[in-house]
Structure 1
Amino acid sequence: MQPSDVKSLLESRIEGCEFRIQGEGCNFQVTAIGEVFGGMSPVKRQQLIYGALGDEIASGALHAITIKTYTPEQWGKAPENTGL
């Protein structure tokens, strides 16, 4: 899989989020920014992303995923936000 494949899958399964994907093969880093994360615990945020990629994880197409989630307000203050 390519980062663009992972991004397309997430965009089609979770509305109202912006995704930034890095990685290659079956190992990816997912950064997700969206209002949907407001009021969610960190565990619930992770579960939302993992749930959206469940079939690909089960099949082995995705093996290792690192997830960071932010509301737009949190993203504006995040050190990783380079303004892209």
Structure 2
Amino acid sequence: MTSDELQSIIAAGLSCEHLEVSGDGRHWAAVVVSAAFEGKRAIARHQQVYATLGPRIHNDEVHALSIKAYTPAEWAAAQG
């Protein structure tokens, strides 16, 4: 799997205002900005992202995924 493929999978399952994916083919990092995260704790946000991956996360296509999940307001504040 490539970072573009992983990015497309996440974007297909979750409306994102901003999405960055990087990694080496097994270990990934994602920055996900979505209004769907409003009012949710970090664990619920991560579960939403993992849900977009479906069986890929269980069959080891995606071995590890580090997620930074922000609401649009949080992302704007983080950008300064």
TM-score above 0.5: yes
> For residue 13 of structure 2, what is the aligned residue in structure 1?
13
CA distance in 1, matches of 2:25, 2:35: 29
Contact 1:30 1:68 in 2 (8 A): yes
CA distance in 2, matches of 1:48, 1:37: 9
> For residue 49 of structure 2, what is the aligned residue in structure 1?
49
Instruction: Return the TM-score normalized by structure 1.
Output: 0.86
Matched residue count: 80
CA distance in 2, matches of 1:45, 1:31: 12
The 5 A counterparts of 1:27-66 are 27-66=27-66
Stretches of structure 2 that go unaligned for 5 or more consecutive residues are none
Q: Which of structure 1's runs of 4+ aligned residues deviate more than 6 A?
A: none
Stretches of structure 1 that go unaligned for 5 or more consecutive residues are none
1:6-38: CA deviation from partner (whole Å, max 9, x where unpaired): 000011111244211011211100110011111
Report how far residue 54 of structure 1 moved. Answer: 2.7
Contact 2:16 2:32 in 1 (8 A): no
Instruction: Return the TM-score normalized by structure 2.
Output: 0.89
CA distance in 2, matches of 1:21, 1:33: 12
CA distance in 2, matches of 1:17, 1:10: 12
The CA RMSD measured in Å over matched residues stands at 1.5
CA distance in 2, matches of 1:48, 1:63: 17
Percent identity between the two aligned chains = 26
Matched letter for residue 41 of structure 2:
S
